[in-house]
Amino acid sequence: GTTGTTAATEPEFAGLTAIVTGGGAGIGAATIRALQSRGATTAALDLDPSGAPEGSLQIQVDVTDSEAVHTAVNRAAAELGGIDIVINNAGIGAQGQVDANDDAEWARVLDVNVVSVARVTNAALPHLRRSSAPAVVNTASIASMLGLPERVLYSASKGAVQAMTLAMAADWVGEGIRVNAVVPGTANTPWIGRLMEKAADPVAERAALNARQPHGRLVEPEEVAEAHCYLASPRNRSTTGVLLPIDGGMTNL
Ligand code: NAD
């Protein structure tokens, strides 16, 4: 909106811009839809951004490629008119006990899930410093809270995301850049769909997965998107250094 008389009813994210890594599918795409519906303009930074919601800028980029990330972030800033919100959400899985993954797999998963959070945030930092409502929201996972079996590498990567969230929040609390993380439980995204399809009996596997959740079902990506929006919101300026579980009670019950 442009007139003072409508200010009270302006959408929550009116005039704000967000970049969402992994915005081409699953939780990231749901977060883009939620931000758009509240008035934000958005860019999806993804290996395959074609699945990003309509109306979002789609930028093809591998978050492990430093030069490409800087180019993508600066392009988003130029086309959107700045960057107020960074949603670090791109991530990949890894299965198995500690002997399951070789050094190359450790390097790859940590690069995508951990180093990219620093890389994308660094690239966006000059833009965040010019913002009137800067916020970074990272996507962690309950995997690092619970000691889930067969998840050593993935859990390590998401534990690092939590630690980085707190450390960055501490560094920037004085200058007003908020940093928080959502901690999703098992969510109903293409990722989990792919895992189910690999099972001998996908229907039974899905039922078993639902039964393992305290609230009896998977978390919907739209529910994680709500948390991304809450943590990114210019209405929640006192919320920083928070790790917010969206997990049907899995972490704390
Ligand atoms: P998804 O696989 O459905 O979507 C992830 C998106 O990220 C895809 O569009 C993919 O192309 C993109 N991506 C992957 N690697 C990339 C790279 N190197 N560069 C750019 N883009 C890349 O996954 P999702 O389930 O929506 O997961 C999103 C985030 O949520 C991840 O960080 C994941 O670890 C986390 N998470 C998911 C669950 C779950 O159960 N689905 C639970 C907890 C946390």
pLDDT tens, 175-190? 999 999 999 999 999 9
Residues 216 and 67: their CA atoms lie apart, in Å, by: 43
Structure confidence at residue 1 (pLDDT):
43
Q: Which fold has domain 15-186+220-246?
A: Rossmann fold (3.40.50)
Please tell me which residue in 154, 172, 191, 230 is annotated as part of the active site: 154
Give the pLDDT band (50/70/90) at residue 200: very high
Structure confidence at residue 95 (pLDDT):
95
Query: Is the CB–ligand 1 distance for residue 48 below 6 Å?
Result: yes
Provide mean pLDDT across the span 137-160: 97
Q: Contact, 124 vs 73, CB < 8 A?
A: yes
Query: Is the CB–ligand 1 distance for residue 190 below 6 Å?
Result: yes
CA 190 → CA 46, 120, 187, 206, distances in Å?
15, 23, 9, 13
Share of the chain above pLDDT 70, in %: 97
Distance 167 CA to ligand 1 centre (A): 23
**Any idea which of 3-7, 14-18, 224-228 has the lowest mean pLDDT?**
3-7
Candidates 21, 46, 117: which one to mutate for ligand 1, based on the most atoms within 8 Å of Cβ?
46
Query: Is the CB–ligand 1 distance for residue 115 below 6 Å?
Result: no
168 — alpha (psi -120 to 50), left (phi > 0) or beta? alpha
What is the total residue count of the chain? 253
Structure confidence at residue 2 (pLDDT):
52
Task: Classify the complex by whether its ipTM is higher than 0.95, answering yes or no.
Answer: yes
Structure confidence at residue 143 (pLDDT):
97
Q: Does the structure show a pLDDT above 80 at 235?
A: yes
Residues 247 and 5: their CA atoms lie apart, in Å, by: 40
Domain extents in the chain? 15-186+220-246
Q: What is the 3-state secondary structure (H, E, C) of the chain?
A: CCCHHHHHHCCCCCCCEEEEECCCCHHHHHHHHHHHHCCCEEEEEECCHHHCCCCCEEEECCCCCHHHHHHHHHHHHHHHCCCCEEEECCCCCCCECCCCCCHHHHHHHHHHHHHHHHHHHHHHHHHHCCCCCCEEEEECCCHHHHCCCCEHHHHHHHHHHHHHHHHHHHHHHHHCCEEEEEEECCECCHHHHHHHHHCCCHHHHHHHHHHHCCCCCCECHHHHHHHHHHHHCCCCCCCCCCEEEECCCCCCC
Q: Which atom of ligand 1 is nearest to the CA of 30?
A: 26
Residues 107 and 86: their CA atoms lie apart, in Å, by: 24
Report the side by side order of strands in the sheet with 17-21: 57-60, 41-46, 17-21, 85-88, 135-139, 178-184, 243-246
Protein residue whose Cα sits closest to atom 5 of ligand 1 = 22
Q: What is the pTM of this model?
A: 0.96
Candidates 19, 21, 27, 243: which one to mutate for ligand 1, based on the most atoms within 8 Å of Cβ?
27
> What sign results for the dihedral spanned by CA atoms 213, 214, 217, 223?
negative
Q: Does the structure show a pLDDT above 60 at 202?
A: yes
Distance 79 CA to ligand 1 centre (A): 24
Q: Does the structure show a pLDDT above 60 at 7?
A: no
